[in-house]
Amino acid sequence: MSSNTSDIKQTDDRFRQVVEAAPNAMVMVDKSGVIEMVNTQAEIIFGYRREELLGQSIDCLLPERFRHQHPHHRDSFFSDLRPRAMGIGRDLFGRHKDGSEFPVEVGLNPIETEDGIKVLSAITDISARKRMEERFRLVVEAAPNAMVMVDKSGVIEMVNTQAEIIFGYRREELLGQSIDCLLPERFRHQHPHHRDSFFSDLRPRAMGIGRDLFGRHKDGSEFPVEVGLNPIETEDGIKVLSAITDISARVKVNQKLAEHHEELERSNKELATFAYVASHDLKSPLRGIFQISQWIEEDLGNGDILSIPSHMNLLRGRLRRMELLLDDLLAYSRAGRMEGGLSQIDLGVLAHDIFDMQALPDGFKLLTADDLPTFTTLATPLEQVLRNLFTNAVKHHDQSTGSIKLDWQPKNKDYYELSVTDDGPGIPPEYHERVFVMFQTLRPRDEVEGSGMGLALVKKIVENYGGKTSITSDGIRGTTIHFTWPVNIKGRAPIADSI
Amino acid sequence: MQTQSRHNYKEVTLLVVDDDDIDAIALERALRKLRLLNTLHRARDGLEALTLLRSGAIPPPYIILLDLNMPRMNGLEFLQALRTDPMLTHAVVFVLTTSKSDEDLVAAYRRHVAGYVFKQHMDRDFLEVIGLIEHYWRIVELPVNKEMS
């Protein structure tokens, strides 16, 4: 019996030594919350001497505002005895003798003793860690980017104000949700896979290199983003802190730049073509005129008067050609700059008006589809396109009668496809590209007077409004010029003045 | 030697490939002025010239006077076709053009033209050019028949 008692005493002593040596503060209370044992660490962090605590209620170590709930929590612990952390999900605080509070973590262990069940609590002062966490939160909050921290399964644990702003959610709507809600739906199914591969190779890096990334606003709209990923080790495991930048503005600027660049390239190419052809097409009538004047001089000197009228004819022809070239060149350079205003047009009526005004030979007639649309557009450039196509069709016709047909079909929601078909000699496929280049003619100007600007002008106008031109012809009979025209046209100021 | 060059002098045919009537007339007038009796053929673009040459309508020896800027098939395209045609590849071609572009000049010589002449000096007419070409065909031996190539 006595040996038994001394055994128990020995065990008890050993237990006290272990508790004393523990690196945490340890406090043992009985079922009613009376403190039965404390260690030196407990004395230090709470500021009491041991004898001040023993026999007191554990409540003295709690801030007053928590004291009334404590018996209830204690009872529920005693009704389900197992070691566990106190107050999961709640912030716990200890109370120093001087009345100050500090954040704590508390582990609870039930201990069976001779006088019944006791609770041994291990208490850690986590002020330093809390300060670190707070500092981290402030850094995240102060970041100029949106920051979102998720755990391994993609649940959002922290966001900053920027994230609230760019995604349109309030903080409390995001915390605890899956990160998926910030992604466009079409990317969601791949995301877990990408996340897993990030976790399997933890290093800071940019997300989705080479892919275009998009965020999804609460209102469902999408915006381009750049995302930097940083693994963060925390006490509850690895988290990912993502820095998200809304790059809409940059993308828009880049698009604008690309458009300007393209426009500049087009305009430069046009200028180069112009410089090239100006040296030939514009100079050749001048050279001709100069030459004819020499012939007239020579022939008059030789007394050959009979040749003079034909020289004069040729000379006037060159003057007219020069004038035509200059007029058409001017029209070309102005294409897209003279838009007039928006007006509602009935395409059928407009086409017949244009056709009638051209004073084309009597043998030619215009056929129009019955259901040509009526819509609001910039009438001036559309008229210019149709006028050029009609006169072209008649000018290059090989017969004295013919018909020209204007047809249409809706191409997509943004464009109509219009087509002008003639029954002239056609254009062989090998010339289909060339006919749209300025100053290109398929027959010598001495046979068919023309600037070679007609289709180039059509192409330029149509492309100015985002449309496309194309040509179908077997080169045997008939040519169709197709072009698309916007259903809802927007006037567009040219970026660079073209020649 | 004498007889040989005189032989060429009489026989050589000129093929003008130019869409401009005035240039064609100017060449004719220049020939007349220099009292040259060579036959002058005219094609209005490269395609027409190729057709004439392939049909045998132009009797060798001949010299081609080629404009660059023409409808349908331009001068450089014509040269390309000419040099890849085993029957025509030996043809002697002078380019007569208003184009001062270096690209055109290099491209023409790359296709083995005998000379590249600017038609820029309007006052000098075509006399000088025809004069040059007359000297050329008097002194230079031209390929006579197609098998020579």
- Please indicate, yes or no, whether residues A274 and A207 belong to a single structural domain of this protein: no
What is the domain extent for residue A326?
A: 254-486
Mutate to test the interface with B, among A280, A282, A289, A297 (most CBs of B within 10 A): A280
Q: Do B21 and A446 touch (CB under 8 A)?
A: yes
Residues of A within 8 A of B71 (CB-CB) are 440-444
Whether A496 maps to a domain, the answer reads no
- Please indicate, yes or no, whether residues A339 and A481 belong to a single structural domain of this protein: yes
Residue of A nearest to B120 (CA): A287
Q: What is the pLDDT of residues A190-205, one digit of tens each?
A: 888 888 888 888 888 8
Residue of B nearest to A430 (CA): B72
Place of tokens 């120093």: A96
Strands (E), A300-350: 342-346
- Please indicate, yes or no, whether residues A317 and A230 belong to a single structural domain of this protein: no
| Interface contacts (A, B; CB < 8 Å) | 60
- Please indicate, yes or no, whether residues A276 and A406 belong to a single structural domain of this protein: yes
Please identify, among A125, A146, A168, the residue that sits at the C-terminal boundary of a domain.
Answer: A125
Q: What is the pLDDT of residues A91-121, one digit of tens each?
A: 889 999 999 999 998 998 998 888 888 899 9
Q: A29-53: string of b/e by CB count within 10 Å (b at 16+)?
A: beeeeebbbbbebbbebbebeeeeb
The CATH number of the domain holding residue A467 is: 3.30.565.10
The CATH number of the domain holding residue A207 is: 3.30.450.20
Q: What is the 3-state secondary structure (H, E, C) of chain B?
A: CHHHHHHHHHHCEEEEECCCHHHHHHHHHHHHHCCCCCCEEEECCHHHHHHHHHHCCCCCCEEEEECCCCCCCCHHHHHHHHHCCCCCCCCEEEEEECCCCHHHHHHHHHCCCCEEEECCCHHHCCHHHHHHHHHHHHHCCCCCCHHHC
Residue A89 pLDDT exceeds 80? no
Q: How far apart are CA A126 and CA A290, in angstroms?
A: 101
- Is A277 an 8 Å CB contact of chain B? yes
Name the residue among B119, B116, B114 with its Cα closest to residue B105: B116
- Please indicate, yes or no, whether residues A415 and A443 belong to a single structural domain of this protein: yes
Please identify, among A59, A92, A125, the residue that sits at the C-terminal boundary of a domain.
Answer: A125
Name the residue among A88, A101, A120 with its Cα closest to residue A19: A120
Whether A58 maps to a domain, the answer reads yes
Q: Is the peptide bond preceding residue A83 cis, with omega within 30 degrees of 0?
A: no
- Please indicate, yes or no, whether residues A53 and A160 belong to a single structural domain of this protein: no
Measure B112 CA to nearest chain A CA, in Å.
Answer: 22
CB contact set of A218 (below 8 Å; sequence gap of 6+): A167, A168, A169, A173
- Please indicate, yes or no, whether residues A455 and A348 belong to a single structural domain of this protein: yes
Residue A2 confidence (pLDDT): 52
Q: What is the CATH number of domain B2-136?
A: 3.40.50.2300
Q: How many CB atoms lie within 10 A of CB B143?
A: 14
Q: What is the 3-state secondary structure (H, E, C) of A80-149?
A: CCCCEECCCCCCEEEECCCCCEEEEEEEEEEEEECCEEEEEEEEEECHHHHHHHHHHHHHHHHCCCEEEE
Residue of A nearest to B70 (CA): A444
What does the domain layout of chain B look like in residue ranges? 2-136
Measure A392 CA to nearest chain B CA, in Å.
Answer: 16
- Please indicate, yes or no, whether residues A294 and A210 belong to a single structural domain of this protein: no
- Please indicate, yes or no, whether residues A339 and A236 belong to a single structural domain of this protein: no
Under 8 Å between Cβ of A180 and A193: no
Residues of B within 8 A of A284 (CB-CB) are 20, 98
Number of domains in chain A: 3
Whether A383 maps to a domain, the answer reads yes
Residue of A nearest to B44 (CA): A444
Residue of A nearest to B124 (CA): A291
> What are the residues of chain B with a beta carbon less than 8 Å away from any beta carbon of chain A?
19-23, 25-26, 29, 44-45, 68-72, 97-101, 119, 122-123, 125
Partner residue facing B20 (CB), from A288, A295, A431? A288
Question: What percentage of residues in chain A have a pLDDT greater than 70?
Answer: 96
Residues of A within 8 A of B44 (CB-CB) are 443-444, 446-447
Residue B122 pLDDT exceeds 60? no
Residue B9 pLDDT exceeds 60? no
Residue A101 confidence (pLDDT): 92
Q: What is the pLDDT of residues A301-329, one digit of tens each?
A: 999 899 999 999 989 988 988 888 888 88
Residue A161 confidence (pLDDT): 92
Whether A85 maps to a domain, the answer reads yes
* A220 class by beta-carbon count within 10 Å (0-12 exposed, 13-18 middle, 19+ buried): exposed
Mean pLDDT of chain A: 86
Residue A48 pLDDT exceeds 90? yes
Q: What is the pLDDT of residues A181-239, one digit of tens each?
A: 999 988 888 888 888 888 888 888 888 777 888 999 999 999 999 999 889 888 778 88
H-type alpha helices, A396-474: 454-464
Please identify, among A76, A107, A125, the residue that sits at the C-terminal boundary of a domain.
Answer: A125
Q: Do A444 and B70 touch (CB under 8 A)?
A: yes
- Is A280 an 8 Å CB contact of chain B? yes
Place of tokens 């966001």: A159
- Please indicate, yes or no, whether residues A15 and A30 belong to a single structural domain of this protein: yes
Residue A116 confidence (pLDDT): 85
Q: What is the largest CA-CA distance in chain B?
A: 42
Look at phi and psi of residue A346 and say left if phi exceeds 0, alpha if psi is from -120 to 50, else beta: beta
Q: Do A444 and B45 touch (CB under 8 A)?
A: yes
Name the residue among A464, A451, A441 with its Cα closest to residue A335: A464
- Please indicate, yes or no, whether residues A164 and A115 belong to a single structural domain of this protein: no
Residues of B within 8 A of A443 (CB-CB) are 44, 71-72
Residue of B nearest to A434 (CA): B72
Q: Of the given ranges (A286-295, A445-454, B78-87), which has the lowest mean pLDDT?
A: A445-454
Question: Given pLDDT bands bounded at 50, 70 and 90, which one contains residue B4?
Answer: very low
Q: Do B19 and A281 touch (CB under 8 A)?
A: no
Residue A495 confidence (pLDDT): 41
Q: Do B99 and A443 touch (CB under 8 A)?
A: no
- Please indicate, yes or no, whether residues A115 and A153 belong to a single structural domain of this protein: no
- DSSP category for residue A217: -
Partner residue facing A291 (CB), from B44, B69, B122? B122
Q: How many CB atoms lie within 10 A of CB A458?
A: 23
Residues of A within 8 A of B73 (CB-CB) are none
